[in-house]
Chain A
Amino acid sequence: DVKVTQSSRYLVKRTGEKVFLECVQDMDHENMFWYRQDPGLGLRLIYFSYDVKMKEKGDIPEGYSVSREKKERFSLILESASTNQTSMYLCASSPIAGKYNEQFFGPGTRLTVL
Chain B
Amino acid sequence: QKEVEQNSGPLSVPEGAIASLNCTYSDRGSQSFFWYRQYSGKSPELIMFIYSNGDKEDGRFTAQLNKASQYVSLLIRDSQPSDSATYLCAVMNPPSNTGKLIFGQGTTLQVKP
Contact = CB atoms under 8 A, between A and B. Distances in A.
Interface in A55-114: 56, 90, 94-96, 98-108
Interface in B59-87: none
B106 A101 contact: no
Nearest to B97: A96
Q: How large is the interface on A (under 10, 10 to 19, 20 to 34, 35 or more residues)?
A: 20 to 34
Contact of A40 (B44, B96, B98, B105): B105
Contact of B98 (A31, A43, A106): A31
27 contacts: A30-B99, A31-B99, A33-B99, A33-B100, A40-B8, A41-B105, A42-B88, A42-B105, A42-B106, A43-B88, A45-B100, A48-B100, A90-B43, A94-B99, A96-B97, A98-B96, A99-B51, A100-B49, A100-B51, A101-B92, A101-B96, A101-B99, A102-B34, A102-B46, A103-B101, A105-B43, A106-B43
Residue picked from B8, B43, B51, most chain A C-beta under 10 Å: B43
A99 B98 contact: no
- Majority secondary structure of chain B interface residues (helix, strand, loop or mixed): loop
B97 A50 contact: yes
B22 interface: no
Contacts of B98: 31, 48, 50, 56
A2 to B, nearest CB: 10
B72 to A, nearest CB: 14
A107 B48 CA distance: 20
Nearest to A49: B98
Interface of A: 30-31, 33, 40-43, 45, 48, 50, 56, 90, 94-96, 98-108
B6 to A, nearest CB: 9
B43 A99 contact: no
A107 B104 CA distance: 20
A94 to B, nearest CB: 4
Nearest to B6: A42
B99 A42 contact: no
